[in-house]
Structure 1
Amino acid sequence: MGKIIVTGASGNFGRAAAEQLLQKVAPQDVVCLTRSPEKLADLASKGAVVRQADFDDPESLVKAMEGGEKMLLISTLRVGTRVEQHRNAVEAAVANGVKHIVYTSVIGGGLEDHPGVEQTDHYDTEQIIKASGADYTFLRNSLYADAVATAMAIPALQAGSKPDNAGHGKVAMVAREDCVNIAVAVLTQDGHANKAYDVTGPELVSIPEAVAMISEMAGKPIDLQHVDDEGMYQYFDSLGVPRKASDVVPDGPIPWASEGMVTFGQSIREGYFDVQSDDVERITGKRPRSLKSVLEQYKGAWPA
């Protein structure tokens, strides 16, 4: 097996994937790309190759991709402006002879017609990868249960209320750990070229059901307020969140825009996330974790 490149290796997902790969393949075949190599000194000490790379600097990428055969392209966090970053990475990889690109997409990533701003980024990136000539595997991840257990649970418990525009739409929330497991499996097994997998948890749950579960486990009431999309925008406005990706101040206090969150909720409400698959278990051999088990994992971080 040739070298496996992991982009964004100092992020949560990338680091977890790199650590697993180090247990499965020769350490010198794990190439970790990061803007901050010092953050990966521990992986370098285990024999991984750590290289400085910046998705906004195509020249740095070309050098960083040397010798790679497969690449795990982890989508960057810049919703609305990340497609160019992904294009830079794909072009540098293919120019260096990378044969297979595994990409962390989203449920519905293959749909041309979709309300989600986040999904549009993933759709555009999938098309770039398909057109690149490399083999591809698209890992279309559902909503992270970890985000529900932290970014959703903590403010809702602090405020005792949560505005929400997802209605009663269902989503099979998935543990980030399961998303990492399937990514590593696809990178280290044969037979996954030119396929797309729906990476989901074991049960379909609505946001109100998830909030009720959080409330019950914490022993604190949370008043869920059903709002429309404009009401959701106004809530984020009140927190000082810019509406559009183009309005985000570089290196400012809030690095994301509310349109990603609002259209995500809309996508759930309109049924675009109502997908539950057995791909995680089929490919990793492990049953995916339930939302409840992920909530229990993070419960210690909730306000007392």
Structure 2
Amino acid sequence: MGKIIVSGASGQFGHAAASQLLDMGEEVIALSRSTDKLADLAARGAEVRAADFDSPDGLVEAMRGGDKLLLISTTLVGERPRQHANAINAAKQAGVKHVVYTSLLGARKPGNPSVEGFDHIATEEMLEQSGVAYTFLRNSLYAEAVATAMAIPALTSGTKPENAGRGRVPIVSRDDCIATAVGVLTQEGHENKAYDVTGPELWALPDAMALVSEMAGKPIEVQDVDDEGMFAYFDALGVPRKSEDVDPNGPIPWASEGMVTFGKSIREGFMDVDSDDVERITGNKPRTLKSVFEQYQGAWPK
């Protein structure tokens, strides 16, 4: 096995993936804009290199010697295709043979309204045309996000506006997404394939909030709103609608357009996907939503 490059290795996903690869005895090249956050990986034998997908300069050198790349999608909606193109071009020039990319569940289904998905479609198409082997990990909604970013404000206010209606989504733990990525990077036979990385159950978001309410012993009233009502909710919180209006260093580093169209895509059935890919690749059943709620329950308002 050659060296495995992990991009965004200072983020939660990348750091955990790099750590698990080191546990397995793999040679790891850990990339980040902030290499000071990678000291623990360096101490365990990872090669730590500075890399910035906004600037192609130095990217080829950063990836040199790597055989596979875990390309973790960047965070700024709308900017990702440009950043990912820089990474893919550099990987190809550096001789990387296989790129494993964290994509989005249902993104390639025709008519999906999710603007988050547009970036992933563009990146998947670039990889298909790159001449480098690829694997697409189409990750579902993170259970950890539901347990924190959704649950905490809902418990605090007692209400949760929601535009996803009764659409179903197989909410998945980030742990299972990471384990699936590590499996694909360390096993044979995953080239030029796409996997649906999903949890074990399909959830309507109002039912997920009902479980939060029950476990916390506090009421949450889910208010069924249309897309405009969802925008109004985020407007009231001071969230910019468009990603180009986001201040990356501001208190809210994301735009509501991504969240609202994500909810719409759930409502319209684009994420209603039942898959056993996680278990087939990792050998383990994926975590339930309840188990992730139990993990984060201590952070919920009393």
Task: Report the CA distance between 1:110 and its aligned residue.
Answer: 2.5
For 1:292 and 1:104, the matched residues in 2 are separated by 24
* 1:177-222 CA distance string (max 9 Å, x none): 0000000000000000000000000010100000000000000000
Q: Residue 252 of structure 2 aligns to which amino acid in structure 1?
A: I
Q: 1:1-304 residue pairs with structure 2 within 5 A?
A: 1-26=1-26, 29-304=27-302
Q: Residue 90 of structure 1 aligns to which amino acid in structure 2?
A: I
For 2:281 and 2:21, the matched residues in 1 are separated by 16
Give the 3-state SS of the residue equivalent to 1:58 in structure 2. Answer: coil
Q: Once structures 1 and 2 are overlaid, which stretch shifts more, 54-63 or 125-134?
A: 54-63
Q: Residue 108 of structure 1 aligns to which amino acid in structure 2?
A: G
Q: Residue 89 of structure 1 aligns to which amino acid in structure 2?
A: A
Q: Residue 25 of structure 1 aligns to which amino acid in structure 2?
A: G
Stretches of structure 1 that go unaligned for 5 or more consecutive residues are none
Task: Report the CA distance between 1:251 and its aligned residue.
Answer: 2.2
Q: Contact between 1:110 and 1:126, CA under 8 Å: does it hold in 2?
A: no
Stretches of structure 2 that go unaligned for 5 or more consecutive residues are none
Q: Contact between 1:7 and 1:71, CA under 8 Å: does it hold in 2?
A: yes
For 1:75 and 1:88, the matched residues in 2 are separated by 12
Q: Residue 123 of structure 1 aligns to which amino acid in structure 2?
A: I
Q: Contact between 1:19 and 1:43, CA under 8 Å: does it hold in 2?
A: yes
Q: Residue 197 of structure 1 aligns to which amino acid in structure 2?
A: Y
RMSD of aligned residue pairs (Cα, Å): 0.9
For 1:201 and 1:60, the matched residues in 2 are separated by 38
Matched-pair identity in %: 67
Task: Report the CA distance between 1:112 and its aligned residue.
Answer: 4.6
For 1:249 and 1:150, the matched residues in 2 are separated by 22
Give the 3-state SS of the residue equivalent to 1:273 in structure 2. Answer: coil
Q: Once structures 1 and 2 are overlaid, which stretch shifts more, 150-159 or 246-255?
A: 246-255
Task: Report the CA distance between 1:269 and its aligned residue.
Answer: 0.2
Give the 3-state SS of the residue equivalent to 2:286 in structure 1. Answer: coil
Q: Extract structure 1 runs of 4+ deviating beyond 6 A.
A: none
Q: How many matched pairs?
A: 302
Normalising by the residue count of structure 1, what TM-score does the alignment of the two structures yield? 0.98
Q: Contact between 1:55 and 1:89, CA under 8 Å: does it hold in 2?
A: yes
Normalising by the residue count of structure 2, what TM-score does the alignment of the two structures yield? 0.98
